[in-house]
Amino acid sequence: MKNTLPILAGLLALTTPLAAVPAPKPDIVFILVDDLGRCDPGFMGGKDIRTPNLDQLAGAGARLDRFYVQPVCSPTRAALMTGRYPMRHGLQVGVVRPWARYGLPLEERTLPQALREAGYSTAIVGKWHLGHYEPAYLPTQRGFDRQYGHYNGAIDYFTHERDGGFDWHRDDRACHDDGYSTHLIAREAVRLIREQPRDKPLAGVGRQPE
Paired sense of beta strands 121-127 and 165-166, if any? unpaired
Among 89, 129, 150, 169, which one carries the catalytic annotation?
129
Residue 172 to residue 194: CA distance in whole angstroms? 22
- Minimum distance of other proteins from residue 180's CB (angstroms): 19
**What letter does residue 22 receive in the DSSP assignment?**
P
Among 98, 113, 187, 196, binds other proteins (CB under 8 A): 98
DSSP for 136-195 reads: GGSGGGTT-SEEEEESSSS--TTT-EETTEE--EETTEE----S-HHHHHHHHHHHHHHH
Contact by Cβ (8 Å): 160, 181: yes
71 binds other proteins (CB under 8 A): no
174 binds other proteins (CB under 8 A): yes
- C-alpha gyration radius of the chain: 21
CA-based nearest residue to 173, from 206, 210, 139: 139
CA-based nearest residue to 153, from 73, 78, 54, 91: 73
> In terms of CB distance, is 41 or 149 closer to other proteins?
149
170 binds other proteins (CB under 8 A): no
93 binds other proteins (CB under 8 A): yes
9 binds other proteins (CB under 8 A): no
- Minimum distance of other proteins from residue 138's CB (angstroms): 6
175 noted as active-site residue = no
61 binds other proteins (CB under 8 A): no
> In terms of CB distance, is 115 or 155 closer to other proteins?
155
- Could you count the other beta carbons within 10 Å of the beta carbon of residue 45? 9
Among 77, 127, 142, 169, binds other proteins (CB under 8 A): 169
Among 113, 166, 186, 193, binds other proteins (CB under 8 A): 166
73 noted as active-site residue = yes
- The residues that are catalytic are 73, 129
Which residues of this chain interact with other proteins, rule CB under 8 A? 87-94, 97-100, 102, 132, 135, 138, 150-152, 162-167, 169, 172, 174
